[in-house]
Amino acid sequence: MNEYQKLIRNKIPQIINSNQQKCQVKNLSNAEYKEALKQKLIEESTEVSEANKDNLAEEIADVYEVIDTLIKVYKLEKKDIIKIQKQKRKLRGKFDKKCFLVSVESADTIIDKLTELDEDILQQGEDFLAKEVLLKGFTIDKDSNVLKDIFKKMNDFNPHFFRLKLAENWGGINISNLGFYSWQIMMAKYSGALSFLQIQHQSAIEMLSQSKNNIVKEKYLSKIIKENLFCGVGFSHLRRKGKPSVMAIPIEKGYELTGFVPWITGYDIFSYVIVGAILPDGQELYGIMPFANNNNHLKFSFPMKLSAMNSTNTVTATLNQWFLSSEDVVMIKPYQAIYQKDEENVLHHGFFALGCSLAGLRILKDNCDKINLPKVTDSYARLKAQTDNLQRKMLEIIIHPNDNFEQKLDLRVQAISLAYRCAIAAIISSKGEGNQEYHCANRIYREALV
């Protein structure tokens, strides 16, 4: 038995039954009927796009039939539709000049809104990444020692690369939000592993700089800056429902932390990590600790084996009555503050996906030049236009923030989808080579999955 689940012409059941077959049909409600007609129009339009010269007229006739029925069902007037058609022709023209829109660049581009400082640091970063990272993506992704060396080399090249949001009095440059997220896109375009680690560090030292505990800033932030050290974060478990994964019990001169942290990135690369825990009253405590095993009170696992960005040395941590001094408390936030922060920042992780899209497009563009097939060139043009358009929309929200959670979430969804599609295009256009483990398209596909 074949299932169809679609609207059919009135005489189709009779035709089927006359051919010694049986069909099952049902009567739709008015609402279902209207929706089915719209879906039918999509179906018939698809058949027009696939038709050859011999059956094109027949497929267009089917489209006309559906449109006539839609007009009747919605009680529209053909003369009104024709009037609107003529108005649109006058204002926007017809489709007879063979114009095909590839992309749109506004005279007032996003790039024009970058500060001179933003442009300078982005150019320096691009120069470094193109020279030191572009051709080493596979080994950076697989080998933690290579990633660690690149991390240090990048810091030696310009320490400001890792202090973008810090104020000048802490050795930072405090670039604009537009510059910062343009940086995130650029980093992800060259290496997912490097991008992921540096954003962890950027987030950690920004948290330290925002702490109201001056002792923790002097004790850790000053040392990190002076000695060119790095710091990670480990508090994603605070998002989990149910019993807290890590509890913090107030004791004399500090807190006692007990529990399990399921995900911390940067072991043997970062010197410190900011860990989250829940206080008895539900508040969130964030404290800094050494990122190394410490007797029986603080133990880290061996790095996990990951399918992508394995070199980031992601581990778990077990805390057994670990003493966190009051001097090491970065901040205490209200109950479920992390959820509010996530909602405010829902768009931010989309910039990693956007950079991944650009990485896939770079490979696709190279393949266009190699194989010179119109379909591949067309795919590149379409995906490039969609990526540019999405980047503009996402960065516009950074410039003009709003509280529209659904809009920002939708843009993030689009960025994830686009990263995957660009990665698939890179794989397909690379042909058999794309299946080789070391091939850059293969790595970018895995990063898109992340």
Q: How far apart are CA 171 and CA 228, in angstroms?
A: 11
Single-letter residue type at 221: L
∠ CA 332-333-339, nearest 5°, is 145
The CATH number given to 231-331 is 2.40.110.10
Q: How far apart are CA 79 and CA 61, in angstroms?
A: 20
> C-alpha 37: how far from its chain's center?
36
Nearest one of 312, 390, 400, 306 to 351, comparing CA atoms: 390
φ/ψ (deg, to 5) at 142 = -100, -35
Q: How far apart are CA 251 and CA 137, in angstroms?
A: 47
Please return the burial class of 159, using the count of CB atoms within 10 Å of its CB with bins 0-12, 13-18 and 19+.
middle
> C-alpha 368: how far from its chain's center?
25
Q: How far apart are CA 233 and CA 263, in angstroms?
A: 9
Q: How far apart are CA 318 and CA 262, in angstroms?
A: 9
Q: For tokens 């293969």, what's the residue?
A: 442
- pLDDT for position 106: 54
* Structure-block tokens of residue 309: 């960005």
Do 67 and 74 touch, CB atoms closer than 8 A? no
Do 230 and 151 touch, CB atoms closer than 8 A? yes
pTM of the entire predicted model: 0.76
Do 300 and 314 touch, CB atoms closer than 8 A? no
Q: For tokens 């090491």, what's the residue?
A: 328
Q: How far apart are CA 203 and CA 163, in angstroms?
A: 10
Do 231 and 288 touch, CB atoms closer than 8 A? yes
∠ CA 47-53-54, nearest 5°, is 90
Do 346 and 412 touch, CB atoms closer than 8 A? yes
Per-residue pLDDT of the chain (450 residues; tens, 9 = 90+): 777 889 999 988 888 888 778 888 898 999 899 999 999 999 899 899 888 988 999 999 999 999 999 999 999 999 999 999 988 888 888 888 888 877 665 545 666 789 999 999 999 999 999 999 999 999 999 999 999 999 999 999 999 999 999 999 898 999 999 999 999 999 999 999 999 999 999 999 999 999 999 999 999 999 999 999 999 999 999 999 899 999 999 999 999 999 999 999 999 999 999 999 999 999 999 999 999 998 889 999 999 999 899 999 999 999 999 999 999 999 999 999 999 999 999 999 899 999 999 999 999 999 998 888 888 999 999 999 999 999 999 999 999 999 999 999 999 999 999 999 999 999 999 998 888 888 999 999 999 998
The CATH number given to 346-449 is 1.20.140.10
Single-letter residue type at 156: D
Domain locations along the chain: 12-91, 114-226, 231-331, 346-449
- pLDDT for position 281: 96
Classify domain 114-226 by CATH architecture: Orthogonal Bundle (1.10)
Nearest one of 339, 395, 408, 31 to 180, comparing CA atoms: 395
- pLDDT for position 107: 42
β 231-234/272-278 pair status: parallel
State the chain's maximal CA–CA distance in angstroms: 89
**CA dihedral sign of residues 146, 147, 152, 155:** positive
Nearest one of 81, 41, 80, 78 to 63, comparing CA atoms: 41
Buried b vs exposed e over 6-15: b needs ≥16 C-beta within 10 Å? ebeeeeeeee
